[in-house]
Amino acid sequence: MSGNAIANAAAVLDDAAVKAQAVDQFAPGSFDLADAYRIQRASIQRRVARGDGIRGIKLGFTSRAKMIQMGVDSLIWGWLTETMIEEEGGTVDLGRYIHPRVEPEVCFLTRRTIDRPITALEAADYVEAVAPALEIIDSRYRNFKFTLEDVVADNCSSAGLVVGPWSRRFEGLGNAGVGVTVNGRLVLSGSTAAILGHPLRTLVQASRLLSSCERSLPAGSLVMAGAATAAHALAPGAHIRCDINGLDRVEFFTGSAS
Protein backbone atom coordinates (compact mmCIF):
# COMPACT_ATOMS: atom_id res chain seq x y z
CA MET A 1 0.00 0.00 0.00
CA SER A 2 1.37 3.45 -0.85
CA GLY A 3 2.12 6.06 1.79
CA ASN A 4 -0.78 8.10 0.44
CA ALA A 5 -3.26 5.25 0.70
CA ILE A 6 -2.13 4.62 4.29
CA ALA A 7 -2.61 8.29 5.19
CA ASN A 8 -6.05 8.30 3.55
CA ALA A 9 -7.23 5.22 5.41
CA ALA A 10 -5.90 6.69 8.68
CA ALA A 11 -7.81 9.92 8.00
CA VAL A 12 -11.06 8.03 7.34
CA LEU A 13 -10.78 6.14 10.64
CA ASP A 14 -9.61 9.15 12.65
CA ASP A 15 -12.48 11.32 11.30
CA ALA A 16 -14.96 8.55 12.12
CA ALA A 17 -13.68 8.53 15.71
CA VAL A 18 -13.71 12.32 16.04
CA LYS A 19 -17.22 12.67 14.56
CA ALA A 20 -18.51 9.48 16.23
CA GLN A 21 -19.86 8.35 12.87
CA ALA A 22 -19.45 4.80 11.59
CA VAL A 23 -17.76 4.07 8.26
CA ASP A 24 -17.85 1.07 5.92
CA GLN A 25 -15.28 -1.69 6.28
CA PHE A 26 -12.47 -1.54 3.74
CA ALA A 27 -12.87 -3.75 0.67
CA PRO A 28 -11.61 -7.28 1.41
CA GLY A 29 -7.90 -7.63 0.62
CA SER A 30 -7.33 -3.83 0.48
CA PHE A 31 -4.30 -4.20 2.74
CA ASP A 32 -2.36 -6.78 4.74
CA LEU A 33 -1.67 -6.90 8.47
CA ALA A 34 1.61 -4.97 8.22
CA ASP A 35 -0.20 -2.17 6.39
CA ALA A 36 -3.00 -2.30 8.97
CA TYR A 37 -0.46 -1.51 11.70
CA ARG A 38 0.92 1.32 9.52
CA ILE A 39 -2.60 2.77 9.20
CA GLN A 40 -3.05 2.42 12.98
CA ARG A 41 0.22 4.25 13.60
CA ALA A 42 -0.72 7.03 11.15
CA SER A 43 -4.11 7.51 12.81
CA ILE A 44 -2.44 7.78 16.25
CA GLN A 45 0.01 10.31 14.84
CA ARG A 46 -2.99 12.44 13.83
CA ARG A 47 -4.21 12.34 17.44
CA VAL A 48 -0.77 13.20 18.77
CA ALA A 49 -0.54 16.11 16.30
CA ARG A 50 -3.75 17.47 17.87
CA GLY A 51 -2.07 17.45 21.28
CA ASP A 52 -3.12 14.04 22.57
CA GLY A 53 -0.46 12.04 24.46
CA ILE A 54 0.34 8.33 24.33
CA ARG A 55 -0.33 6.64 27.69
CA GLY A 56 0.31 2.99 26.86
CA ILE A 57 -0.94 0.05 24.88
CA LYS A 58 -3.78 -2.45 24.88
CA LEU A 59 -3.88 -6.04 23.84
CA GLY A 60 -6.91 -7.54 22.18
CA PHE A 61 -8.22 -11.06 21.68
CA THR A 62 -6.18 -12.50 24.56
CA SER A 63 -9.16 -14.65 25.62
CA ARG A 64 -11.26 -17.23 23.77
CA ALA A 65 -14.44 -15.42 24.84
CA LYS A 66 -13.40 -12.30 22.90
CA MET A 67 -12.17 -14.23 19.86
CA ILE A 68 -15.45 -16.11 19.64
CA GLN A 69 -17.63 -13.01 20.07
CA MET A 70 -15.82 -11.12 17.31
CA GLY A 71 -14.88 -14.03 15.01
CA VAL A 72 -11.18 -13.12 15.04
CA ASP A 73 -8.47 -15.45 16.30
CA SER A 74 -5.17 -13.57 16.52
CA LEU A 75 -3.79 -11.44 19.29
CA ILE A 76 -3.70 -7.75 18.32
CA TRP A 77 -2.47 -4.55 19.94
CA GLY A 78 -3.14 -0.85 19.77
CA TRP A 79 -2.33 2.47 21.46
CA LEU A 80 -4.00 4.15 24.42
CA THR A 81 -3.99 7.94 24.56
CA GLU A 82 -4.69 10.54 27.22
CA THR A 83 -8.07 11.64 25.84
CA MET A 84 -9.38 8.06 25.99
CA ILE A 85 -9.17 8.05 29.80
CA GLU A 86 -12.56 8.52 31.44
CA GLU A 87 -12.89 9.46 35.10
CA GLU A 88 -13.28 6.56 37.53
CA GLY A 89 -16.63 6.86 39.26
CA GLY A 90 -17.64 9.62 36.87
CA THR A 91 -20.27 9.94 34.16
CA VAL A 92 -19.32 8.96 30.63
CA ASP A 93 -20.90 10.96 27.80
CA LEU A 94 -22.07 8.33 25.31
CA GLY A 95 -22.35 11.05 22.63
CA ARG A 96 -18.57 10.72 22.15
CA TYR A 97 -19.05 7.15 20.94
CA ILE A 98 -20.76 5.39 18.02
CA HIS A 99 -21.95 2.06 19.48
CA PRO A 100 -19.89 1.60 22.63
CA ARG A 101 -19.46 -1.69 24.44
CA VAL A 102 -17.87 -2.26 27.80
CA GLU A 103 -15.59 -5.10 28.90
CA PRO A 104 -13.69 -5.97 32.08
CA GLU A 105 -9.91 -5.70 31.97
CA VAL A 106 -6.82 -5.98 34.09
CA CYS A 107 -4.59 -2.91 33.69
CA PHE A 108 -0.87 -2.89 34.49
CA LEU A 109 1.31 0.12 35.23
CA THR A 110 4.84 -0.58 34.05
CA ARG A 111 7.88 -0.06 36.28
CA ARG A 112 10.64 -0.48 33.69
CA THR A 113 11.02 0.40 30.06
CA ILE A 114 10.07 -2.53 27.85
CA ASP A 115 12.63 -2.42 25.07
CA ARG A 116 13.29 -6.09 24.35
CA PRO A 117 11.36 -9.38 24.43
CA ILE A 118 10.92 -10.40 28.08
CA THR A 119 10.18 -13.83 29.54
CA ALA A 120 7.27 -14.90 31.75
CA LEU A 121 9.67 -15.11 34.71
CA GLU A 122 10.72 -11.49 34.19
CA ALA A 123 7.22 -10.08 33.62
CA ALA A 124 6.33 -9.37 37.28
CA ASP A 125 9.51 -7.34 37.66
CA TYR A 126 8.27 -4.96 34.96
CA VAL A 127 5.05 -4.17 36.83
CA GLU A 128 4.66 -1.34 39.32
CA ALA A 129 0.97 -1.89 40.07
CA VAL A 130 -2.21 -3.54 38.86
CA ALA A 131 -5.78 -2.21 38.73
CA PRO A 132 -9.20 -3.42 37.73
CA ALA A 133 -10.34 -1.54 34.63
CA LEU A 134 -13.26 -1.20 32.27
CA GLU A 135 -12.55 -0.69 28.60
CA ILE A 136 -15.05 1.05 26.37
CA ILE A 137 -14.52 -0.31 22.88
CA ASP A 138 -16.16 1.39 19.92
CA SER A 139 -15.45 0.04 16.47
CA ARG A 140 -15.50 2.77 13.84
CA TYR A 141 -16.98 0.24 11.39
CA ARG A 142 -20.70 -0.02 10.78
CA ASN A 143 -22.41 -2.71 12.87
CA PHE A 144 -19.15 -3.41 14.76
CA LYS A 145 -18.18 -5.78 11.90
CA PHE A 146 -14.56 -6.12 10.82
CA THR A 147 -11.76 -8.38 9.61
CA LEU A 148 -8.50 -8.77 11.55
CA GLU A 149 -6.85 -6.18 9.26
CA ASP A 150 -9.78 -3.74 9.64
CA VAL A 151 -9.76 -3.84 13.43
CA VAL A 152 -5.99 -3.41 13.66
CA ALA A 153 -6.16 -0.37 11.34
CA ASP A 154 -8.90 1.00 13.63
CA ASN A 155 -6.51 0.90 16.62
CA CYS A 156 -8.23 -2.26 17.87
CA SER A 157 -11.53 -0.46 18.62
CA SER A 158 -9.80 1.55 21.41
CA ALA A 159 -12.06 4.37 22.50
CA GLY A 160 -12.24 4.77 26.27
CA LEU A 161 -10.92 3.31 29.48
CA VAL A 162 -11.72 3.67 33.16
CA VAL A 163 -8.97 2.54 35.51
CA GLY A 164 -9.71 1.64 39.14
CA PRO A 165 -7.45 1.93 42.21
CA TRP A 166 -3.88 0.67 41.85
CA SER A 167 -2.60 -2.06 44.11
CA ARG A 168 0.40 -4.34 44.45
CA ARG A 169 -1.64 -7.43 45.26
CA PHE A 170 -0.39 -9.73 42.51
CA GLU A 171 -1.05 -13.04 44.27
CA GLY A 172 -4.23 -14.64 42.96
CA LEU A 173 -4.14 -12.56 39.76
CA GLY A 174 -3.72 -15.73 37.71
CA ASN A 175 -7.20 -16.99 38.50
CA ALA A 176 -9.34 -14.21 39.95
CA GLY A 177 -13.09 -14.04 39.51
CA VAL A 178 -14.29 -11.17 37.29
CA GLY A 179 -17.83 -9.81 37.37
CA VAL A 180 -19.45 -6.86 35.63
CA THR A 181 -22.82 -5.58 36.81
CA VAL A 182 -25.07 -3.08 35.07
CA ASN A 183 -27.49 -1.41 37.48
CA GLY A 184 -26.74 -4.19 39.95
CA ARG A 185 -27.45 -7.05 37.56
CA LEU A 186 -24.57 -9.39 36.69
CA VAL A 187 -24.09 -9.26 32.91
CA LEU A 188 -20.56 -10.65 32.43
CA SER A 189 -18.58 -13.08 34.53
CA GLY A 190 -15.37 -15.02 34.11
CA SER A 191 -11.86 -15.47 35.42
CA THR A 192 -8.57 -13.71 34.75
CA ALA A 193 -7.21 -17.18 33.90
CA ALA A 194 -9.02 -16.73 30.56
CA ILE A 195 -6.41 -14.07 29.66
CA LEU A 196 -3.61 -16.20 28.16
CA GLY A 197 -3.74 -18.42 31.26
CA HIS A 198 -2.42 -15.51 33.39
CA PRO A 199 -2.72 -11.76 32.69
CA LEU A 200 1.03 -11.25 33.30
CA ARG A 201 1.68 -13.24 30.12
CA THR A 202 0.27 -10.30 28.16
CA LEU A 203 3.44 -8.38 29.07
CA VAL A 204 5.51 -11.10 27.43
CA GLN A 205 3.36 -10.85 24.31
CA ALA A 206 3.46 -7.05 24.39
CA SER A 207 7.26 -7.07 24.63
CA ARG A 208 7.50 -9.37 21.59
CA LEU A 209 5.06 -7.30 19.55
CA LEU A 210 6.84 -4.04 20.42
CA SER A 211 10.25 -5.53 19.57
CA SER A 212 9.01 -6.88 16.26
CA CYS A 213 8.22 -3.34 15.16
CA GLU A 214 11.28 -1.84 16.88
CA ARG A 215 9.31 0.14 19.42
CA SER A 216 9.68 0.41 23.17
CA LEU A 217 7.29 1.33 25.96
CA PRO A 218 8.50 3.73 28.67
CA ALA A 219 8.20 2.99 32.40
CA GLY A 220 4.95 4.43 33.76
CA SER A 221 2.87 3.22 30.81
CA LEU A 222 -0.49 1.49 30.99
CA VAL A 223 -0.91 -1.99 29.53
CA MET A 224 -4.48 -3.25 29.19
CA ALA A 225 -4.36 -7.04 29.17
CA GLY A 226 -7.50 -7.70 27.10
CA ALA A 227 -10.96 -8.74 28.24
CA ALA A 228 -11.56 -12.06 29.97
CA THR A 229 -15.18 -12.07 28.82
CA ALA A 230 -17.20 -10.92 25.83
CA ALA A 231 -18.19 -7.22 25.69
CA HIS A 232 -21.59 -5.77 26.66
CA ALA A 233 -23.40 -2.95 24.80
CA LEU A 234 -23.59 0.31 26.77
CA ALA A 235 -26.92 2.09 27.20
CA PRO A 236 -27.73 5.50 28.74
CA GLY A 237 -28.61 5.88 32.40
CA ALA A 238 -26.57 2.94 33.65
CA HIS A 239 -24.19 2.24 36.52
CA ILE A 240 -21.43 -0.11 35.36
CA ARG A 241 -19.27 -1.79 37.94
CA CYS A 242 -16.50 -4.36 37.65
CA ASP A 243 -15.16 -6.43 40.52
CA ILE A 244 -12.00 -8.48 40.23
CA ASN A 245 -11.38 -10.78 43.15
CA GLY A 246 -8.37 -9.64 45.19
CA LEU A 247 -8.36 -6.19 43.56
CA ASP A 248 -10.61 -3.24 44.22
CA ARG A 249 -13.61 -2.39 42.08
CA VAL A 250 -13.96 0.09 39.23
CA GLU A 251 -17.15 1.83 38.18
CA PHE A 252 -18.71 4.56 36.06
CA PHE A 253 -22.10 5.88 35.03
CA THR A 254 -23.49 6.60 31.60
CA GLY A 255 -25.28 9.91 31.02
CA SER A 256 -28.99 10.05 30.30
CA ALA A 257 -30.14 9.85 26.69
CA SER A 258 -30.21 13.31 25.08
Interface residues toward ligand OOG, by CB under 6 A: 58, 60-61, 66, 70, 103, 135, 137, 139, 151, 156-157, 226-227
Cα(185)–Cα(168) distance, integer angstroms: 29
- How far apart are CB 210 and Mg ion at their closest, in Å? 18
Cα(252)–Cα(231) distance, integer angstroms: 16
In the bound state with ligand OOG, the residue whose beta carbon lies nearer, of 75 and 258, is 75
Is 227 a binding residue for Mg ion by CB under 5 A? The answer is yes
CB half-sphere exposure, 86, CA atoms < 13 A: 26
Among 14, 135, 138, 154, binds Mg ion (CB under 5 A): 135
In the bound state with Mg ion, the residue whose beta carbon lies nearer, of 16 and 76, is 76
Cβ atoms within 10 Å, residue 129: 15
Cα(2)–Cα(14) distance, integer angstroms: 18
In the bound state with ligand OOG, the residue whose beta carbon lies nearer, of 64 and 116, is 64
Torsion, Cα 151 38 161 219, to 10 degrees, reads 140
- In angstroms, what CA-CA distances link 131 with 65, 95, 154, 206? 21, 27, 25, 18
57 binds, among ligand OOG, Mg ion, none (CB under 5 to 8 A by kind): none
In the bound state with Mg ion, the residue whose beta carbon lies nearer, of 135 and 154, is 135
118 binds, among Mg ion, ligand OOG, none (CB under 5 to 8 A by kind): none
Is 154 a binding residue for Mg ion by CB under 5 A? The answer is no
Contacting residues toward Mg ion, per CB under 5 A: 135, 227
